[in-house]
Structure 1
């Protein structure tokens, strides 16, 4: 087990990547009356596949150049910082489900809110079911819809 500064950085990295893994939509459940915009649903799909494959170029097609994330440990990182740690293979889940409870579409911005449930095989909450509320902010850019910001907070581990 790592201790000190390096250990703290590794734990923060694992927590951050756990926050980002929520992009995987394969098991997304929409609340009654919620409609996922097709272009954003497709982008979630591409993002999930790219993250699980540690495909940095694939992630870059969905995350805007100015993407930022506020992770569960209250660290705010930019796109390339996150991609650098993603490539180190810290994502590993026994179970993962995305629950979408709110989508607000505007002409240039779409907000998606909900919560993820997962059982991490690594990092904080290992082996326990974790619930993590999230807010994703998508913006229409010249290349299509891109994720510009994400906030995720681990609410509980059981």
Structure 2
């Protein structure tokens, strides 16, 4: 059973999006939680500068359509309105912290409005790799593949 974090805890402890859930016993580092919150807002607003403030310049993603994309390729897709979702929820099941790298694993559930799984609720397992850089924690890599659609 997953524990849903209340809005007050989200805003003051981790700043994760209100739709985020942490598995029992999982602790999100505050700076990374805040970055997830900023990233979610930027993605929903199609705000390229906001996305760039979280993703490292050398960010790569193994995308749901099984292509490896760079930061700028994903931002181009976002700016063309191809990354629109409704009922997006992030379920975090593991956070592994090291001094210079943090790995966050879990799954997203959402209904994509375009692209793979459009119009259907999908489950997308993910692995995010965060690296400590001179300007703070930056997301450097993401794997996200659609595992199931209703």
* Counterpart pick for 1:112 among 104, 113, 121: 104
TM-score (norm 1): 0.82
Output aligned runs, 1:75-94, within 5 Å: 75-94=67-86
Q: Does 1:57 align with 2:46?
A: no
1:57 alignment partner, SS class: helix
Output aligned runs, 1:1-158, within 5 Å: 25-158=17-150
Cα shift readout 1:60-101 (whole Å, capped 9, x = no counterpart)? 110001000001222111111111111111222221111000
2:108 alignment partner, SS class: strand
Residue of structure 1 equivalent to 2:11: none
Cα shift readout 1:25-55 (whole Å, capped 9, x = no counterpart)? 3311000000110000000011111111111
Distance 2:115 2:140 in 1: 25
Distance 2:33 2:41 in 1: 13
Distance 2:93 2:34 in 1: 18
- Count matched residues: 135
Distance 2:100 2:106 in 1: 20
Distance 1:154 1:74 in 2: 9
TM-score (norm 2): 0.86
RMSD: 1.2
Higher relative contact order (CA 8 A, sep 6+): 1
Shift in Å, 1:120: 1.8
The structure in which a higher percent of residues are strand is: 2
Q: Which runs of 5+ in 2 are unaligned?
A: 1-15
